A and B are shown apart, each in its own frame.
Chain A
Amino acid sequence: MKVGTVLMMRSKDFMSWADDWVGRVMKKGPIGRAVDTLLTDFWTWARVNSLYPLHFGIMCCALEMAAASGARFDAQRIGVIYRSTPRQCDMLLVNGPVSKKLRPDLRRLYDQMSEPKWVVAMGECAISGGPFWNTYSVIEGVDQFIPVDVYIPGCPVRPEAMIEGFMKLQDKIRKEKKGPLTEEMV
């Protein structure tokens, strides 16, 4: 037990020293800034063309999400592939009303995704509660507890509008211009 405690403390000390050194010299020093500037465009290109949303269908807009991945509207041509687990995703598509029973689970899904992550509120129900805005069990908009990046209006959202929403998100990511070292180490 004693040995274990000593080792833990030592590794904690080491981690804080390593973070400090990396933070000061690498990220904010000249080497870090050079690496960042060289790789920003490449990093942005990779992020923009491989947005992986989560397999999460709540209500009617989920059927349009499925139709958008069919052969007619083909969302995969802009790089969108649905993944089943939040650990492998970087986009959370909220496509229906959020009820009070669902709220903690949705927040947990959002927390399980790793950085960088974006949230797209699809449809009126996710933006503001939709036609159910003043019932006792629907939360008026998903941005009450999750920060949203792009809002796509519609009831239900046409697949063409959904793909345009994704392209607006891609424009937003391009404007952010974040390289590999400007990320928070999470």
Chain B
Amino acid sequence: MKLREKVSRRPDIPTASMADIAFLLLVFFMVTTVFSNEMGLQIVLPEKGQEVKVKSENIQKVYVEEMGGIRLNGEPVTQDAFVDEAKAILVVNKDAIFSIKTHPRAKYQYMINAFDKLRLASAERVSLAPSTEE
């Protein structure tokens, strides 16, 4: 009896579907990736109980009214004029500190508007004063 000769074959892992799997994973990660693009306005709150003495002439009072109007040192200003006025103040006194006081029922967006305008005017020293009705 003649036995069939044993042919030794090297075992191999089929790799034909490798690219399919790679593409599947690729599509999955491409779809689920969320690139962080968080935007925001940064501010540092004052420490509790910390009182900083500042010269009264450096303080510029900004008041945000209930309906979104802005008053600068008591004078009503328009949104566009506010940027220019703030810039003008900073040219005269670069140590000016803007203190934003907001009406408690004013919308958050209104306060952000005023804050945004100050940032546009390159005012670095901005603080949030406790809200009061005026």
A is bound by B? no
B: which residues have CB within 8 A of A? Answer: none
A: which residues have CB within 8 A of B? Answer: none
